[in-house]
Amino acid sequence: MTGPATMPGRAVSLETVAMSKRFGPLAALDDVSLRVPAGSFHALLGENGAGKSTLVKCIMGFYAADEGSVLLDGKEVEIRNPRDARAQGIGMVYQHFTLVPSLTAAENLLISRADAPLVVDWTREKRKLAEFLDRMPFKVPLDVPIAQFAAGEKQKLEILKLLYLDQHLLILDEPTSVLTPGEADEILGLLRDMTRRGEITVIMITHKFREVLSFCDSVTVLRRGRNVGGGRVSDLSTESMARLMIGDTQIRERAARADRAAGKTVLELAGLCANNDEGLPVLKAVNLKVHAGEIVGIAGVSGNGQSQLFEVLAGQRALDDGRVLIKDTPFEPNRDSYYRLKVFGLPEEPLKNAAVPKMTVAENIAFRSFDRPPIAKLGWWLSPVPMRDKARELIARYRVKTPSPETAIADLSGGNVQRAILARELSGDVDVLIVANPCFGLDFASVAEIRGQIMEQRNRGAAVLLVSEDLDEILELADRVAVMSGGTINYVAAVAATDRATIGQHMAGH
């Protein structure tokens, strides 16, 4: 390892002293001090809204902290904007990729430089890039447009970009959320090796305890904007970290699974084929059976056809070939079939996919029932009073926190939107329930409740299809797991009879 980009001993230490940041009445960050020694792999743990992002955005100069200072190698530095952070050698990998899809890896790397030449001598630049890559533990193809990269390669290139820009303090915002377990382990392992060699210092925002325990040296836990503890990872356990994260609230119980034998086949997917928006095949003969009283979890790295499968079942995407059978009758995704066959669904990002944001909570809750008695007379005359009464009842039963049934649903928090939509979908008699990433971005309390509701439907005998990018969620809820890779299901097993490593291998397409 030679050359400026990876000279050993280049890692710097970072310290924040009494950082505070208020947004109006909300203290997003309250007197947070932390120390990250040079060459360490530090985790920043916390629930959504705990202040992790605010903290790193203050460090990066996106926000100006109201109070407090940042020290690099013990010296106070002033960072007013992301460009200052860059000049100090601090780089960040964001949750969403910041690569330009139509540009090649080489073009993306080159244009990220502040001193990119006015006219590019590609022969020379390519040679220099190849030399740079030779010194790096990460390998990516240089001449391929990013649009054709797999998520893991993109994440590697994001990290390579920071190293290429000579940045030695890397801040990673949930870097593994789009990766297979295998890819995640590879990337985090390589980063850990680089920290061990003293080449870089890494701060990683995460909520995955497993990653903290296997890769990080030390951890800081944030809750409601305050540093509530942390320390060396070797001194901590999952339980102690979880307790720090969620505070006095009860650590949630796993949803209670009633012991019951799986019933008859209720939902059958027979050779489903569909195209993506660009007309390319994205579902390639998906076959799956879901029985009554069973949850089948569909695992897979995002972008392998899971969302399109959900869209097909939700009637948002046309089927090219194959058919969906429910209780042995062909299922067409139209309003009448949903009603008759008792099919209900909870798509991901419900505010976008299952609600009309500007309509009221009561109206959104009535979407399944507005054209039937008692709300509708003669099939078309709507009466607002029964609609509001029904909404009141469901709001109370599902504990949706809303100022009134007349509030626009967009004004509710994510957890409450999810509860309102669940109330709408689960209030009737459910035979088939199709759910996608139901707990994405929710706090602990909401997660427990929503998983409990899904489990309750299973216990009552519904056939549940759960599409989730969170493998832990599938392992907790599902009776069987099906892995999707490259648009087809390549592995099905009972959850009790398989393990994370086997599932991960199939997620990667092996």
Partner 1 sequence: MSQAPALVVLIALIGGAIRVSTPFMFVALGECLTEKSGRVNLGLEGTLVLGAMCAYATAYHTGSPWLGVLAAGAAGAVLGAMHGYICKLPRVNDIAIGIAMMSFGTGVAFFFGKPYIQPQAPRLGALPLGAWTGNPQLAASLEVSPLLLLGIAVAALMAWAFANTRWGLIVRMTGDSAPAAKAMGVSVDLVRFLTTTMGGFLAGIGGAFLSLYYPGSWNQGLSSGQGLMAVALVIFARWSPVRCVVAALLFGAAGAIGPSLQSVGVNQGYYFFNAAPYILTLFIMVLSAKSKRAAHDVPGELSITK
Residue 117 binds partner 1 (CB under 8 A): yes
Beta bridge partners of 75: 72
CB of 140 vs partner 1, minimal distance in Å: 17
Query: Of 33, 95, 98, 237, which one interacts with partner 1 (CB under 8 A)?
Result: 98
Distance CA 146, CA 152 (A): 11
Contact between residue 144 and residue 104 where contact means Cβ atoms under 8 Å apart: yes
Among all chains, which residue has been given the structure tokens 């850990």? 192
Window of 38-46, 114-122, 171-179, 494-502 that interacts with partner 1 by CB under 8 A: 114-122
Residue 83 binds partner 1 (CB under 8 A): yes
Residue 114 binds partner 1 (CB under 8 A): yes
Residue 96 binds partner 1 (CB under 8 A): yes
Window of 179-187, 188-196, 277-285, 349-357 that interacts with partner 1 by CB under 8 A: 277-285
Residue 496 binds partner 1 (CB under 8 A): no
123/250 with CB nearer partner 1: 123
13/353 with CB nearer partner 1: 353
Distance CA 451, CA 256 (A): 10
Closest CA to 486 of 344, 232, 284: 284
Distance CA 505, CA 159 (A): 24
Closest CA to 245 of 465, 447, 78: 447
CB neighbours of residue 40 within 10 Å? 22
CB of 250 vs partner 1, minimal distance in Å: 39
Window of 2-10, 91-99, 285-293, 489-497 that interacts with partner 1 by CB under 8 A: 91-99
Distance CA 14, CA 11 (A): 10
Residue 23 binds partner 1 (CB under 8 A): no
Distance CA 38, CA 199 (A): 9
Contact between residue 40 and residue 21 where contact means Cβ atoms under 8 Å apart: no
CA 412 from centroid of its chain's CA atoms: 20
Query: Of 253, 277, 328, 336, which one interacts with partner 1 (CB under 8 A)?
Result: 277
CB of 203 vs partner 1, minimal distance in Å: 18
CB of 101 vs partner 1, minimal distance in Å: 6
Query: Of 74, 75, 123, 280, which one interacts with partner 1 (CB under 8 A)?
Result: 280
CB of 118 vs partner 1, minimal distance in Å: 5
248/277 with CB nearer partner 1: 277
Distance CA 273, CA 287 (A): 10
CB of 116 vs partner 1, minimal distance in Å: 5
Closest CA to 345 of 320, 353, 308: 353
Q: How many residues bind partner 1 (CB under 8 A)?
A: 27
Query: Of 7, 64, 87, 147, which one interacts with partner 1 (CB under 8 A)?
Result: 147
Residue 107 binds partner 1 (CB under 8 A): yes
Window of 106-114, 195-203, 260-268, 482-490 that interacts with partner 1 by CB under 8 A: 106-114
Who's near 299: CB < 8 A, 6+ residues apart? Answer: 468, 471, 474, 481, 482, 483, 484, 503, 507
Radius of gyration of the chain (CA): 25
Distance CA 452, CA 442 (A): 14
Window of 105-113, 187-195, 220-228, 485-493 that interacts with partner 1 by CB under 8 A: 105-113
Residue 74 binds partner 1 (CB under 8 A): no
Residue 100 binds partner 1 (CB under 8 A): yes
HEC profile of 200-217: CEEEEEECCHHHHHHHCC
275/302 with CB nearer partner 1: 275
Window of 63-71, 93-101, 216-224, 337-345 that interacts with partner 1 by CB under 8 A: 93-101
Q: Classify strands 281-291 and 432-436 as parallel, antiparallel or unpaired.
A: unpaired
Closest CA to 365 of 412, 332, 331: 412
Tokens of 163: 């190293």
Tokens of 49: 């809204």
Window of 4-12, 102-110, 131-139, 364-372 that interacts with partner 1 by CB under 8 A: 102-110
Residue 119 binds partner 1 (CB under 8 A): yes
Residue 80 binds partner 1 (CB under 8 A): no
2/102 with CB nearer partner 1: 102
**202-228 exposure pattern, b = at least 16 Cβ within 10 A, e = fewer:** bbbbbbbbbbbbebbbbbbbbbbbbbb
Q: Classify strands 329-330 and 321-326 as parallel, antiparallel or unpaired.
A: antiparallel
Residue 110 binds partner 1 (CB under 8 A): yes
Window of 110-118, 228-236, 314-322, 405-413 that interacts with partner 1 by CB under 8 A: 110-118
Residue 372 binds partner 1 (CB under 8 A): no
Binding site for partner 1 (CB under 8 A): 82-83, 94, 96-103, 107, 110-112, 114, 116-120, 122, 147, 277-280
